[in-house]
């Protein structure tokens, strides 16, 4: 505690007036905000608006041409051991002959090294991560034989098995069934409770509202980076999505064309 209230949570990812370009062509400009331990930030915006670009910058895969991005107070390329990354399941080859357990154990290699065999503790951690995403009974199932939602849950378990302080997820709810979405949200809520800082790209405004304390709204530039209830408003979303109407439907926000 301080004299003025609780001590703020530790900043794990700091983005300071960052602009990112490909071959000198700006892809995303003037993003400014932070992601703190024990909190989730939703990354929201239209397709092609720069969400994946910002994720790549946090992962250290694309250069920041002005401003800065830091993870654990260092450049992202030097902080990859601090980041657990969850890609879209559709980006992986379902025919690759590995089991769910083997996929999750891949998340342990940064700790044990590529040339060492996983030990008892590593296997126990992998089993725990699979149980956390509701797939403890599917550890021996071939990854490609699982449903799309189950594969997404395995990829989250892989990231969780490394117990990283930062989790970055690229559209984890895209195309998954309701059961898998609920499991993913629950697992991420637990990760927050355990101190993870989470950045999650999503088109699902209901998930953003329910899971994320803060939201970063982008479309080639930042429109807002603030408390989720202050960002997911009709005016800001209409501005960001380019003249579309934002309406409430069943408690969630839906964006429709005018």
> Which residue shows structure tokens 């830091």?
70
Q: What is the pLDDT of residue 111?
A: 63
Q: Are strands 197-201 and 40-44 parallel, antiparallel or unpaired?
A: parallel
Domains in the chain, please, with CATH? 11-256 (3.40.50.300)
- SS3 per residue for the chain: CECCECCCCCEEEEEEEEEEEECCEEEEEEEEEEEECCCEEEEECCCCCCHHHHHHHHCCCCCEEEEEEEECCECHHHCHHHEEEECCHHHCCCCCCCEHHHHHHHHHHHHHCCCCCCCHHHHHHHHHHHHHCCCHHHCCCEHHHCCHHHHHHHHHHHHHHCCCCEEEEECCCCCCCHHHHHHHHHHHHHHHHCCCEEEEECCCHHHHHHHCCEEEEECCEEEEEEEHHHHCCHHHHHHHHCCCEEEEECCEEEEECC
Please indicate, yes or no, whether the overall pTM of this predicted structure exceeds 0.85.
yes
Would you give per-residue pLDDT tens digits along the chain (258 residues)?
445 555 567 999 999 999 999 887 889 999 999 999 999 999 999 999 999 999 999 999 999 999 999 999 999 999 988 999 998 866 667 788 899 999 999 888 776 655 567 678 888 999 999 999 999 999 999 999 999 999 999 999 999 998 999 999 999 998 889 999 999 999 999 999 999 999 999 998 989 999 999 999 999 999 999 999 999 998 899 899 887 655 655 445 555 655
| Separation between Cα atoms, residue 165 and residue 163, nearest integer Å | 7
């Amino acid at each position: 505690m301080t004299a003025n209230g609780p001590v703020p949570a530790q900043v794990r990812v700091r983005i300071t007036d960052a602009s990112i370009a490909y071959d000198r062509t700006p892809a995303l400009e003037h993003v400014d905000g932070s992601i703190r331990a024990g909190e989730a930030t939703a990354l929201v915006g239209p397709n092609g608006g720069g969400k994946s670009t910002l994720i790549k910058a946090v992962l250290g895969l694309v250069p920041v041409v002005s401003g800065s991005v830091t993870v654990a107070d260092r450049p992202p390329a030097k902080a990859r051991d601090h980041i657990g990354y969850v890609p879209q399941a559709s980006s992986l080859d379902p025919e690759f002959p590995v089991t769910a357990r083997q996929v999750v154990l891949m998340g342990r290699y940064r700790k044990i090294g590529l040339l060492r065999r996983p030990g008892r503790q590593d296997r126990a951690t992998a089993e725990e991560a699979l149980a956390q995403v509701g797939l403890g009974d599917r550890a021996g199932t071939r990854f490609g034989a699982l449903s799309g939602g189950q594969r997404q849950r395995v990829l989250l378990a892989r990231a969780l098995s490394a117990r990283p302080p930062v989790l970055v997820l690229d559209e984890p709810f895209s195309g998954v069934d309701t059961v898998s979405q609920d499991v993913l949200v629950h697992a991420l809520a637990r990760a927050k409770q355990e101190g993870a800082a989470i950045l999650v790209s999503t088109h699902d405004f209901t998930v953003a509202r329910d899971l994320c304390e803060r939201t970063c709204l982008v479309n080639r530039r930042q429109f807002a980076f603030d408390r989720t209830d202050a960002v997911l408003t009709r005016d800001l979303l209409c501005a960001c999505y380019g003249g579309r109407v934002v309406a409430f439907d069943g408690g969630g926000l839906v964006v429709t064309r005018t």
